[in-house]
């Protein structure tokens, strides 16, 4: 199951209470206070792990609580600190406070972590409050309360190139031809229900790009039509976007491009300003001279490069891959 968003309530541990104690020994008439400090409460830590690719393992984990710190003891003994709780998430996860909207962490690299809820500080024992005029303090500090908050874990896949297009534009077929990914392919709209990643390599594997395939966009997606914008977060990290348009479809090419551009603009996150390449698909089923001419004219109006391909025959795929690498390497 592909799961890219999880909400949970996290509670850090409270700090332990400081101890009120006095040293009483037979041959130590002036022992004085010796109350130890309370232990620090455990924190809830979110850590990035390469062992996970989705958030499915957290599906039923609605409440996470860290251990509280132990209370201080006599003889200047401090209480043990509460145990931290570590939540492992896939690389590319954003940790967000649901109430304030604050981003607590954007975890990209394996091992990177952030504290979602910080444990409370332990209270000081009465040994800290002894002075020349108050030699027997009979009080100590209470431990601080640990933080508690609702958080959202949002997965944004890490990819270099993102494929966007209307349903049945040939995104999944293209990904299966230029990489070893095997997404579901069928001749009806919305075959792709979850994002897929594929690795495209050249020069014997010395250079590679990660390509992300997302479900098709339709007009009005920003208002919830079709699959909406739910999966566009997975191409937010992409440096380059490929706009795929069906050259064999009975639609106006400029209209299809305008729909894609409008939906990216409505989504925001800078996707409409991202570098992109116009890719005409299904060239084998179109009238080649006319299709190429229409694609070239549309690309000239947008001021971008273009490539016409057929994922079935392989025509144009090498040119497309070279253009992808060149665009991704551009400063």
Instruction: Decide if 298 contacts 260 (C-beta within 8 A).
Output: no
Last residue of a domain, one of 104, 138, 155: 155
pLDDT of 188: 43
Based on the domain organization, do 79 and 101 belong to the same domain?
yes
C-alpha Rg value of the chain to the nearest Å: 29
Last residue of a domain, one of 106, 136, 155: 155
CA within 13 Å, CB half, 61: 18
Of residues 95 and 201, the one with the higher pLDDT is 95
Other C-beta atoms lying within 10 Å of the C-beta of residue 84: 17
What mean pLDDT is predicted for residues 83-89?
95
Based on the domain organization, do 197 and 78 belong to the same domain?
no
Based on the domain organization, do 81 and 165 belong to the same domain?
no
Last residue of a domain, one of 107, 135, 155: 155
pLDDT grade, residue 1 (50/70/90)?
A: low
Based on the domain organization, do 166 and 147 belong to the same domain?
no
What mean pLDDT is predicted for residues 262-267?
82
Based on the domain organization, do 291 and 174 belong to the same domain?
yes
Based on the domain organization, do 61 and 106 belong to the same domain?
yes
Q: Answer yes or no: is pLDDT of 189 > 60.
A: no
In the chain, the number of structural domains is 2
Based on the domain organization, do 183 and 324 belong to the same domain?
yes
Which pair of structure tokens corresponds to residue 75? 């003889």
Residues 117-170: pLDDT tens digits?
A: 999 999 999 999 999 888 889 999 999 999 999 999 998 888 888 888 888 778
Q: Which CATH number goes with the domain that contains 44?
A: 2.70.210.12
Which pair of structure tokens corresponds to residue 242? 């490929």
Residue of 173, 162, 163, 166 lying closest to 282 (CA atoms): 173
- Beta-carbon contacts of 312 under 8 Å, excluding residues fewer than 6 positions away, are 173, 282, 284
Structural domain of residue 182, as residue ranges? 161-329
Based on the domain organization, do 9 and 79 belong to the same domain?
yes
Based on the domain organization, do 202 and 273 belong to the same domain?
yes
Q: Answer yes or no: is pLDDT of 10 > 90.
A: yes
Based on the domain organization, do 189 and 144 belong to the same domain?
no
Which pair of structure tokens corresponds to residue 213? 């395939």
What mean pLDDT is predicted for residues 25-53?
89
Based on the domain organization, do 243 and 287 belong to the same domain?
yes
pLDDT grade, residue 265 (50/70/90)?
A: confident
């Amino acid at each position: 199951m592909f799961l890219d968003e999880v909400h949970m309530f996290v509670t850090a541990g409270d700090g332990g209470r400081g101890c009120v104690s006095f040293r009483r020994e037979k041959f130590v008439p002036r022992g004085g206070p010796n109350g130890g400090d309370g232990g620090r409460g455990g924190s809830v830590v979110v850590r990035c792990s390469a062992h996970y690719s989705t958030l499915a393992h957290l599906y039923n984990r609605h409440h996470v609580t860290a251990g509280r710190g132990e209370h201080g003891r006599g003889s200047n003994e401090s209480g043990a600190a509460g145990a931290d709780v570590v939540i492992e998430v896939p690389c590319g996860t954003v940790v967000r406070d649901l109430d304030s909207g604050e981003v607590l962490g954007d975890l990209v690299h394996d091992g990177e972590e952030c504290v979602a809820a910080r444990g409370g500080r332990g209270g000081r024992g009465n040994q800290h409050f002894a002075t020349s005029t108050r030699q027997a303090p009979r009080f100590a500090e209470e431990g601080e309360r640990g933080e508690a908050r609702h958080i959202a874990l949002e997965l944004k896949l890490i990819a270099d190139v993102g494929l966007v297009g209307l349903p049945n534009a040939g995104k999944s077929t293209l990904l299966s031809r230029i990489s070893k990914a095997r997404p579901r392919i069928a001749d009806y709209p919305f075959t792709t229900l979850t994002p897929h990643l594929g690795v495209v390599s050249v020069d014997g594997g010395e250079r590679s790009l990660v390509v992300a395939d997302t479900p098709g966009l339709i007009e009005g997606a920003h208002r919830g039509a079709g699959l909406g914008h739910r999966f566009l977060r997975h191409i937010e990290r992409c440096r380059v976007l490929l706009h795929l348009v069906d050259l064999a479809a009975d639609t106006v090419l400029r209209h299809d491009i305008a729909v894609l551009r409008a939906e990216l603009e409505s989504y925001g996150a800078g996707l409409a300003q991202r570098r992109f390449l116009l890719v005409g698909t299904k060239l084998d089923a179109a009238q080649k001279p006319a299709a190429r001419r229409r694609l070239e004219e549309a690309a000239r109006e947008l001021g971008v490069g273009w490539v016409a391909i057929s994922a079935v025959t392989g025509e144009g795929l090498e040119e497309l891959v070279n253009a992808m690498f060149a665009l991704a390497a551009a400063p």
